[in-house]
Amino acid sequence: MAQKKTYDFAELANKYTLSFEEAIQYFRIGEKRLRQVIHENEDADWLIWIGNRHYIKRPVFENYLAGVNRL
């Protein structure tokens, strides 16, 4: 079975954009739930689409999470 790469929290905290896998570990949100949040907010300002890949603007997504009561 393939092992998932683990990322250093301090390293991720210094990045402006996070890949999907990095965001899962940094924000401690499950893969299925993060996919659902992205799907529900495809035009959000915290999301960058490059082709079919999505990247999350870490500080902007942190502000988004601070404003929601439930994911």
Confidence of residue 71 (pLDDT cuts 50, 70, 90): confident
Whether the full predicted model's pTM is greater than 0.75, yes or no, is yes
Full set of structural domains in the chain with CATH: 9-67 (3.90.105.50)
Compute the distance between CA of residue 22 and CA of residue 2 in angstroms, rounded to an integer. 17
For residue 57, pLDDT beyond 70: yes
Strands of the sheet with 17-18, listed across from one edge: 17-18, 53-57, 47-50
